Amino acid sequence: MHTFHCLILNTMIKFKVIVNHHVYVFLLSGFRSLTPPLTIVRKTFESTENPDNFLPSVMTCVNYLKLPDYSTVEVMREKLALAAREGQLSFHLS
């Protein structure tokens, strides 16, 4: 979880997210301050597909993260960072 928390903070700083009340509370308290609580589940695929080829997906209104079973922590970092960059100006249903 520490890796994930650091990645989120670094992404917010890198893209100069406007610090509103919710982000400020998050920076001070971490994931336990989220309402509803953060839920992370495994994103599933067909057995022939490689999870490393997919990005994570989220349902932000309920703090729900669908994370593929990546082969390494480094792959997870790269995919989370890419999803954060690419998803800044878009809204998709998953």
From the list 1, 61, 89, 93, the catalytic residue is: 61
Which whole-number Å values give the CA distances from 44 to 2, 21, 51, 78, 83, in the listed order?
A: 24, 34, 8, 19, 17
Which residue, chain included where needed, has tokens 């990005």? Answer: 55
Looking at residue 66, the DSSP 8-state letter turns out to be E
| 6 flagged as catalytic | no
Catalytic residue positions, numbered: 61
